[in-house]
A and B are shown apart, each in its own frame.
Chain A
Amino acid sequence: MLSRIIMVLALSLSLHAKISIVASTSDLADIASQIGGKHVTTLSIARGSQDPHYVEVLPSYMIKVKRADMYLMVGMELDQWAEQIIDGSRNSDLRIVDCSADITPLEVPTRKVDASMGDIHPNGNPHYWLDPANGKAIAQTIAIHLKQIDPGHSETYNQNLLTFTESLNTLEKEWAEKFTDLRGKRLIYYHNTWPYFNRYVGLEAVAFVEPNPGIMPTPTHLDHLIHLIQEQNIQVIAMEPYFSDKAPNYLTRKTGVVVIGLAQSVDARKGTGTYQSMLAYNLETLQKAFTP
C-alpha cells in the first residue's frame, strides 16, 4: 500500500514538475517562457538594464543554476562569464544550450583580432537577437531542446513555437508598413549593439560614441563626432541604458543632436517586458526621434 502511495506521489510530482530554465539574458528567458508556457519556469542572470558583456559572477547565480534543467547561453563569446556560473553550480545534469547555434553572424573579423581594436568578438557581433528572424531561430533551438528534455509536452512546445513565430510574422507585416520611413535613416549609436537590428529596419550606423567597442570616448573622438554630425546632418544618437549619457549630452549641447534611449534587451526600459514589445519599443522610439 505504502509503495503504491509513493509511486502515485512520484508520478504526480513528475507530471507537474516544471522544466527550470536559466538564461544569460532576459531576451532568451522571455523567448523560452513563451515556448515553454506553463511547463517551464525561467529566470535571467543579467537584468535587462544590465550590460551583458560584464556580469559579476555571484555564488547566488550558481545556486540558481544548480537547480536548473537547462541553461541558455547567448554564445559568440558575449556571455563568457556563464561558464564560471555553470562550473560553480556543479550541476551534472544541466543541459547547456548555445542559442547562437543557428545564427548567421554579422561582422566576423577578417583579420587577426587584438585589444587595439577594443572589445571585438572574434566570432562576429553577438547581439543577434535584435533581428526578429533570429528571434525565431532562437525559439526553434529552445523548442528542440525542450522536446528532448520533456517529450511528453512536445505538442505544446510545437504549438507555442508556432504561436510565437506567427505573432512575430504578424507584427513584422504591421511594422513594415508603419515604420517604412525609418529605412535608410542614418544615426550614431553609443556602442555597436545594433547591426542585426539595422539590417532588419534598414538603418545605417554612421559612427559610434565609443572610439572602439568598450573604450570610453576621448575628447579627440568627440571633436570628430561633432564635425561628422554637422557635416552629415546627423539627427539622432541612440544608446543603451547602462552607458553614461555624459558624452552624448555633450554632443547635444554642441550640435543639437537628439539623444534617445533604446532597449537592447527585454526589460531594459519601461514597457519592454516581452521580446515583441522590446522590438516595438525601439521602432516607436526611433520613429518619434526622426519625426520632425
Chain B
Amino acid sequence: MRSICFTFLIVGLSSLIAQTTVNPDISVIGELGMRQFEGENTLSASSVEIAIEGYVNPYARAEVYLHKHLDGHPIELEEAVLSIERGLPLSLAIRGGKFRPQFGAINKQHLHQFPQIVLPEPVAHLLGDHKWSSAGLEANWLLPLPWYNNISFSYLENGISTEGHSHEEEEEEQHDEAAKAFSTRYSSFVDLGDISHLEVGLSYYQLMDDSDDNMAGLDFKYKWRPSKYKSITWQNELLRKAPMTHVEDGEAEEHHEVVVAYSMLNYQFSKIWNAGFIVDYSSDIEEAEYQSGGLFFGFSPAEESTVLRIFMKQAQHGDHKPGLLVQAQLLWSLGPHKAHKF
C-alpha cells in the first residue's frame, strides 16, 4: 500500500514538472453512413471521433475521446482517462477518469472497431446505444501465472443506463439516480500455437443501491491468423441481467431476467477484404423475444485508414413483421488512431 501511495506521489509530482514540448497523438475518425429500412433511405455524415493520446510522464498515459454526432447534438465526452501502467508494484495498473469499464468483451471497444457497423441490438438494449461509460477508478492486476490472466475491479460513479440519446442525457439521468456501481472482470489469454489464440472473460456488475440490479457475463474469442492478411475471428458473448424489483414513488415494478447473446465470425481473406456474419438473441426486448442474423463485408483499400463496410440484417422481434435492414458505412482516419483494426 505504501509503495502504491509513493508511486502516485511520484507520478503526480512528475506531471507537475513534466515538459510539455512533445505533442500527443491527435487523430480524427470520420464516418459517413447510409441506412435503408422498410423502404426508407437515409444518408448522413453520421459522426466524427477525436482521439488525443499520449504519455503524461514516464509512468502514465492519458487518453481523451470526443464524439460528435452531426445531428445538432453537442460534442460528447466518451472517455478522458489517466492510466498508470508503468512503475506500480505487484503488476498493478490503475486508471481513473471517465472511461468504459472492463465489463464484457464489447463494452471497451469503440464503434468503429465493429466489422458489423452497429452494436448488436440485444447488447444495446442492456448496455445502452453508446455502451456503458462512467467516471470512476479501476485497478487491474496481472496475476503471477505463466499465461496472461488479468483481474480488474472498477468503482464507478454511475451504473448502466439504457435510456436517453446522448451521453449527456444519460449522465443527467444517472446523476438523478445517483447510484454508484461496481464491476469486475477476469480475463485469460492462451496462445494455441504460433498462429491462434483464445481469450476468455468473466464479468460481473452490481448497482450499489437497494435494487439488487446486477449483471453477469461470459465471453470468449478465438482467433486464427496464419499470415498478416488472413485471419478468422470468432467472438461470442453471453450476458444475463438478474430479475429485480425497482421501487419508484412507493410502487414496486418487477423486472424479468434478461439473457442476451451474440456470436460473430469475421474472415479476413486478403489485404483489403473481409466478410462475416453475426447472430444475436435477447430473451426480452420490450417484453418480446428478439433474434437476428446478419452478413457483413469490409473493403480497406488503404490499409487501415479508409474502410467501406456493408451490413445486412434480418431481425425477428415478437409479433413484428421481419424486416431487412441494410447499412453502409465509409470510415476514414487522420492520424495514428486507426479506423479499424483486424
CB distance from A234 to the nearest CB of B (A): 25
Are B189 and A58 in contact, with the CB atoms below 8 A? yes
Q: A34-60 toward B: CB 8 Å interface, digit per residue (1/0)? A: 000000000000010011001010111
Q: A180-216 toward B: CB 8 Å interface, digit per residue (1/0)? A: 0000000000000000000000000000000000111
**A50-95 at interface with B (beta carbon < 8 Å):** 50-51, 54, 56, 58-60, 62-63, 66, 80, 86-88, 90, 92
Are A87 and B227 in contact, with the CB atoms below 8 A? no
Are A92 and B88 in contact, with the CB atoms below 8 A? yes
Contact of A90 among B86, B225, B301 (CB under 8 A): B86
A215–B61 alpha-carbon span in the complex (Å): 31
A100–B147 alpha-carbon span in the complex (Å): 31
Q: Determine if B73 is an interface residue (Cβ-Cβ < 8 Å).
A: no
Contact of B147 among A63, A90, A115, A215 (CB under 8 A): A63
Known: A60-B197, A242-B227. A66 touches B91 (CB 8 A): yes
Known: A47-B194, A59-B189. A87 touches B142 (CB 8 A): no
Are A63 and B271 in contact, with the CB atoms below 8 A? no
Size of the A side of the interface (Cβ < 8 Å), in residues, is 24
Known: A56-B225, A115-B334. A63 touches B61 (CB 8 A): no
A60–B142 alpha-carbon span in the complex (Å): 12
Q: Determine if B87 is an interface residue (Cβ-Cβ < 8 Å).
A: yes
Q: Determine if A159 is an interface residue (Cβ-Cβ < 8 Å).
A: no
Chain A residue with Cβ nearest B90: A90
Question: A residues within 8 A CB of B303?
Answer: 119, 214-215
Q: Determine if B173 is an interface residue (Cβ-Cβ < 8 Å).
A: no
Question: A residues within 8 A CB of B87?
Answer: 92
Q: Determine if B4 is an interface residue (Cβ-Cβ < 8 Å).
A: no
**A93-111 at interface with B (beta carbon < 8 Å):** none
Contact of A88 among B85, B88, B199 (CB under 8 A): B85
21 contacting pairs across A/B (C-beta < 8 A): A47-B194, A51-B228, A56-B225, A56-B342, A58-B191, A58-B197, A59-B199, A60-B190, A60-B191, A60-B197, A66-B142, A87-B61, A87-B85, A87-B86, A88-B85, A90-B93, A92-B87, A92-B88, A216-B271, A216-B272, A244-B271
Q: Determine if B6 is an interface residue (Cβ-Cβ < 8 Å).
A: no
Question: A residues within 8 A CB of B270?
Answer: 244
| Chain B contact patch, size range | 20 to 34
Question: B residues within 8 A CB of A63?
Answer: 142, 146-148
Q: B184-219 toward A: CB 8 Å interface, digit per residue (1/0)? A: 000001110010010100000000000000000000
Q: B228-254 toward A: CB 8 Å interface, digit per residue (1/0)? A: 110000000000000000000000000
Q: Which B residues fall within an 8 A CB radius of A?
A: 61, 85-89, 91-93, 142, 146-148, 150, 189-191, 194, 197, 199, 225, 227-229, 270-272, 301-303, 305, 334, 336, 342
A216–B303 alpha-carbon span in the complex (Å): 8
Chain A residue with Cβ nearest B229: A244
Question: B residues within 8 A CB of A88?
Answer: 85
Question: A residues within 8 A CB of B272?
Answer: 216
A80–B25 alpha-carbon span in the complex (Å): 12
Known: A66-B91, A92-B89, A216-B271. A60 touches B225 (CB 8 A): no
CB distance from A26 to the nearest CB of B (A): 13
Chain A residue with Cβ nearest B150: A59
A-B pairs with lowest CB-CB distance, top 10: A59-B148, A59-B189, A87-B85, A90-B91, A60-B191, A63-B148, A92-B87, A242-B228, A51-B228, A90-B142
Are B301 and A216 in contact, with the CB atoms below 8 A? yes
A84–B225 alpha-carbon span in the complex (Å): 20
Are A215 and B302 in contact, with the CB atoms below 8 A? yes
Other A-B pairs beyond A62-B142, A62-B148, A216-B272, 16, CB < 8 Å: A51-B228, A56-B225, A58-B189, A59-B189, A60-B190, A63-B147, A63-B148, A66-B91, A90-B85, A90-B86, A90-B88, A90-B91, A92-B87, A92-B88, A115-B334, A216-B301
Are A115 and B225 in contact, with the CB atoms below 8 A? no
A82–B216 alpha-carbon span in the complex (Å): 33
Max chain A Cβ within 10 angstroms of own Cβ: one of B86, B92, B150, B229 = B86
Question: A residues within 8 A CB of B271?
Answer: 216, 244
CB distance from B318 to the nearest CB of A (A): 40
Question: B residues within 8 A CB of A60?
Answer: 147-148, 189-191, 197
Question: A residues within 8 A CB of B190?
Answer: 60
Max chain B Cβ within 10 angstroms of own Cβ: one of A58, A87, A92 = A92
A51–B86 alpha-carbon span in the complex (Å): 28
CB distance from A193 to the nearest CB of B (A): 15
A108–B191 alpha-carbon span in the complex (Å): 38
